[in-house]
Homo-oligomer: A and B are copies of this chain.
Amino acid sequence: MRELAGSPGTWSGLSLRVGQLVFAAASVCATASALGFAAYTAFCYLIASMGLQALWSLGLACLDCYALKFKKDLHSAVLLSLFVVGDWVTAILSFAASCSAAGVVVLFDRDIYACRNPQLPCGRFELAIACAFLSWAFSATSALVMFWLLASL
């Protein structure tokens, strides 16, 4: 089971972390550059959640680099439990933030037609949500791999 793609301390694991980090950072930048985002709770929550996701992924990416450089094994039960809890918490928070922001943008766009107002940057909000969903997809993959590794220890 140690050869599972996406395991901690492998190149595939590191690439998953880099993917999470890049898309989470892109989502934070897209939200922060949308004028007036702070007036909406859903977008404030999205920026907070993506910030947490980026920090967690950065930490794990550094740990993966260290393990790859010094050929350390990161498959102990204690470390895997920590990764499982952290990955699941960040993945669930990211998904909740993406879905609630998506719910608000769909309301603006299709239900109350607020996106016809050119002052509301719906395009940037949509870009931020797309990046957040991509970051969540990488994060969910990591979380599933960690859970599978822990279950098959």
Contact = CB atoms under 8 A, between A and B. Distances in A.
A152 interface: yes
Interface residues of A, number: 22
A104 B112 CA distance: 12
A80 to B, nearest CB: 12
Contacts of A152: 151-152
| Copies of this chain per assembly | 2
A65 interface: no
Contacts of A95: 92, 95-96, 99
A110 interface: yes
Given A99-B100, A100-B99, A42 B106 contact: yes
A116 to B, nearest CB: 16
Contacts of A92: 95
A107 B151 contact: no
A101 interface: yes
Interface in A105-124: 106-107, 110-111
A148 interface: yes
A148 B144 CA distance: 11
B106 A100 contact: yes
A147 interface: yes
Contact of A103 (B100, B147, B151): B100
Contacts of A101: 103
